[in-house]
Amino acid sequence: MTRKKTTFSERWNLRKTWPLHVFLLPSVLLLLIYSYVPMMGIVIAFQDYKPYKGITGSDWVGMKHFIFMFQDERVVQIIANTLIIALSKMVMGWIVPLLFALLLNEVRIAFFKRTIQTLVYLPHFLSWVILGGILTDMLSEKGLINQFIAGLGFTPVFFLGDGDWFRVTLVVSDLWKEFGFGTIIYLAALAGVNPSLYEAAEIDGANRWKQTINVTIPSIIPVGVIIATLSLGNVLNAGFDQVFNMMNPIVKDKAEIIDTYVYQLGLTQASFSLATAVGLFKSVISFILIAVTYRMAVKFANYRIF
């Protein structure tokens, strides 16, 4: 009896919800066509792929391209560049939005608070094609920033010609562009803090600083843990758009990342098999990291998607 009842209930629910499934159908089809069907192309990584022969006619070489990839010192340096840049962005992209959200939360003038929030959020909508050109002009040897530094009596800094300074420039400019977007998440978490906690702390004699330490920060720490753990899945994503638009041959040794290397191999050198092997390596590592960090988010912050 229970089995028949459950089956009938499921059929009844399907009758009521079938329009929702129909609405989802175009999205599912697009996902299959543009995300899953192209995955069959990863077989190129194990072939000596020739476009005129196609996938079925190209010679099978097994792990040849993967072995070459790990024996190439340039690839090792590129992976190191990617990790350094990506981890630096992740750390700064976690700390700065959190601190800024805490400071902005203390502003009591609503108009001023909304204005500041809007101004720091605007750079998120700018393309790196635009920002890359602006920053290249401003940070050049005779750009506005170096003219200001020289005016103060200091030696101008070659931001775009020194590898170490170029990495710093990448991290700082990415932080300036994106920290406003990250702040919104923390402000949303702060809006959900129970006001009675502040009232109780105030009755106990806590000032604003102690309220922040004992009420505000503990309340948003779970959100911070979720963001930090899930962001580890992007440890190999150092920002193709930014690096591609700002990198130059002088700093290429310390600035080239996996994505720009794959672009160069696949589109400029037509080394399709090696480019696919490097891209597949990155995808597999990213998938493993996403799975691990999701389990960490479940364990430490009780965060679940399903």
* Domain of residue 50, residue span: 2-60
Residue 53 banded pLDDT, cuts 50, 70, 90: confident
For the whole model, what pTM was predicted? 0.79
CB 169 within 8 A of CB 177: no
Residue 151 sits in the same domain as residue 245: yes
Tell me if 306 is assigned to some domain.
Answer: no
Residue 262 sits in the same domain as residue 113: yes
| One-letter amino acid for residue 295 of the chain | R
Query: Parallel, antiparallel, or unpaired for β 47-48 and 59-60?
Result: antiparallel
Domain with residue 80: its CATH number is 1.10.3720.10
What pLDDT is attached to residue 305?
Answer: 62
Q: Give the residue, 222 or 245, on which the prediction is more confident.
A: 245
Residue-by-residue DSSP string for 96-118: HHHHHHHHHHT---HHHHHHHHH
Residue 25 sits in the same domain as residue 74: no
Residue 145 sits in the same domain as residue 38: no
CB 179 within 8 A of CB 119: no
Residue 88 sits in the same domain as residue 230: yes
Q: Is the pLDDT of residue 2 over 50?
A: no
Residue 55 sits in the same domain as residue 77: no
Q: Is the pLDDT of residue 277 over 50?
A: yes
Domain boundary among 60, 84, 101: 60
Residue 264 sits in the same domain as residue 157: yes
Residue 136 sits in the same domain as residue 270: yes
CB 174 within 8 A of CB 259: no
Tell me if 32 is assigned to some domain.
Answer: yes
Q: What is the tally of structural domains in the chain?
A: 2
d(CA 211, CA 214): 5
Residue 111 sits in the same domain as residue 226: yes
Domain boundary among 27, 45, 60: 60
Tell me if 97 is assigned to some domain.
Answer: yes
* pLDDT tens for each residue of 158-194: 888 888 888 999 999 999 998 888 888 888 888 888 8
For residue 47, list its beta bridge partners.
60
Overall average pLDDT of the 4-33 stretch: 76
* pLDDT tens for each residue of 200-223: 888 888 888 888 888 888 888 888
Residue 259 sits in the same domain as residue 283: yes
The full length of the chain comes to 306
d(CA 289, CA 292): 5
Neighbours of 138 (CB within 10 A): 14
Q: Which ranges of 192-257 would DSSP assign to H, the alpha helix?
A: 195-203, 208-211, 217-231, 240-246, 252-255
What pLDDT is attached to residue 32?
Answer: 92
Residue 188 sits in the same domain as residue 176: yes
Residue 82 sits in the same domain as residue 146: yes
| One-letter amino acid for residue 127 of the chain | S
* pLDDT tens for each residue of 104-138: 888 888 888 888 888 888 888 888 988 888 888 88
Domain boundary among 60, 80, 106: 60
